[in-house]
Amino acid sequence: MNKVDLHVSPYVQDHYPQDFAWCYGCGYNNEAGLKFKTRWDGDETITEYVPRPEHIAIPGFVYGGLIASLIDCHSTGSASLAFHRQNGHTLGDGTPVPRCVTAMLKVDFIRPTPHGETLSARGRIVSLGEKKAVIATDLYAGETLVVKGEVVAVLAPETMTQKGR
Amino acid sequence: MNKVDLHVSPYVQDHYPQDFAWCYGCGYNNEAGLKFKTRWDGDETITEYVPRPEHIAIPGFVYGGLIASLIDCHSTGSASLAFHRQNGHTLGDGTPVPRCVTAMLKVDFIRPTPHGETLSARGRIVSLGEKKAVIATDLYAGETLVVKGEVVAVLAPETMTQKGR
């Protein structure tokens, strides 16, 4: 159950329909999950996260799979925000937020990501069609650019959403 | 502490040096981690994993970030196996296994991955240089091909391994 005030929260994941808020990366129903949260920041999107102590690769550095997960949910969240805006809606206006899934994920690890810093994924909507969005992301550890991501996100197909009901 | 018999285990991660076996994805020291394990299967490599109940995206389907994590560690493990073999060594011969990190990770989600099946990542060594390996992976859920991955893995740079000591 989501206890957030939906008239106030700028985070798209807080507005996902209950049935589709079980994602390990960003679903508010998933108790064991990571609970990534994505919002607009001007024309960019942003997701900030502090990795858990166990999220390491080699000691002192963040696990790449965690970074890929962050970019994944950040990008599907960014796509949801962009589709919702394109449809003429704002968060909290009572219209369900479109739920997206990832068709392609690419992550370039430019330099090792130090553990202990806040990670900030900053997204740019590269293209937005009727059903498909391309999101480019720069990931910072503190102020340092460490990773670049690119995701093709698509509206979740009915074959997936029907099974969830 | 790794309690596995190193004369017997075919899994490369069991042979990682103690200091570098903390990876959230595949380190035997990481109690909270996923403990992926990769071995040769002929000229291919294989990593099998059953996702936990919480590893879902939309109910009924596996979380993409978990799949990216699996392909990540499977590929760095495959690269370690390939470098070790190229260096004339076999697992358990007393020579430390080279530890690799990911430079680039690309994941194509061909179709939704059903939750509840065993995932099998099957890797092919596309190229192997002195310090760089390219690994292509087909991921199966049961018998169904669901995801294709490509990873550029490199030997862990000294800037990373020294901090771990």
| Domain at A54, CATH number | 3.10.129.10
What one-character DSSP code corresponds to residue B8? T
| Residue A140 phi, psi dihedral angles, 5° rounding | -110, 140
- The answer to whether position A28 is within a domain reads yes
Q: What range defines the domain where residue B46 resides? A: 39-164
Instruction: Give the residue among A48, A15, A68 at the shortest CA–CA distance from B64.
Output: A68
Of B24, B56, B106, the CB nearest to A66: B24
Q: How far apart are CA A85 and CA A108, in angstroms?
A: 29
Q: Which residue has the higher pLDDT, A61 or A159?
A: A61
Interface test with A, best of B19, B30, B63 (most A CBs within 10 A): B63
Q: Average model confidence (pLDDT) for chain B?
A: 94
Q: Residue A163's pLDDT band (boundaries 50, 70, 90)?
A: low
One-letter identity of residue B35? K
- The answer to whether position B64 is within a domain reads yes
- The answer to whether position A2 is within a domain reads no
pLDDT of residue A162: 65
B77-130 pLDDT, tens digit each = 999 999 999 999 999 998 989 999 999 999 999 999 999 999 999 999 999 999
Q: Using an 8 Å Cβ cutoff, are B45 and B38 in contact? A: yes
B61, closest residue in chain A (CA to CA)? A160
Give me the percent of chain B exceeding a pLDDT of 90.
Answer: 85
pLDDT of residue B5: 77
CA angle B80, B139, A158 (to 5 degrees): 145
Contacts of B30 in chain A (CB under 8 A): 54, 56
Q: Strands A100-109, A144-155: parallel, antiparallel or unpaired by DSSP?
A: antiparallel
pLDDT of residue A164: 45
Q: Which residue has the higher pLDDT, A158 or A95?
A: A95
- The answer to whether position A138 is within a domain reads yes
Task: Tell which B residues from 105 to 124 touch A, by Cβ distance under 8 Å.
Answer: 105-109, 112
pTM (two decimals) = 0.95
Q: Which residue has the higher pLDDT, A163 or B82?
A: B82
- The answer to whether position A76 is within a domain reads yes
ipTM attached to this prediction: 0.95
> What integer is the mean pLDDT of B120-145?
98
How many domains is chain B built from?
1
| B160: pLDDT strictly greater than 70 | yes
Q: How far apart are CA B28 and CA B6, in angstroms?
A: 13
Asked if the C-beta of B103 comes within 8 angstroms of chain A's C-beta atoms, the answer is yes
- The answer to whether position A4 is within a domain reads no
A7-50 pLDDT, tens digit each = 789 999 999 998 889 999 999 999 999 999 999 999 999 999 99
- The answer to whether position B113 is within a domain reads yes
- The answer to whether position B19 is within a domain reads no
Give me the percent of chain B exceeding a pLDDT of 70.
Answer: 96
pLDDT of residue A165: 43
pLDDT of residue B28: 96
Contacts of B164 in chain A (CB under 8 A): 58-60
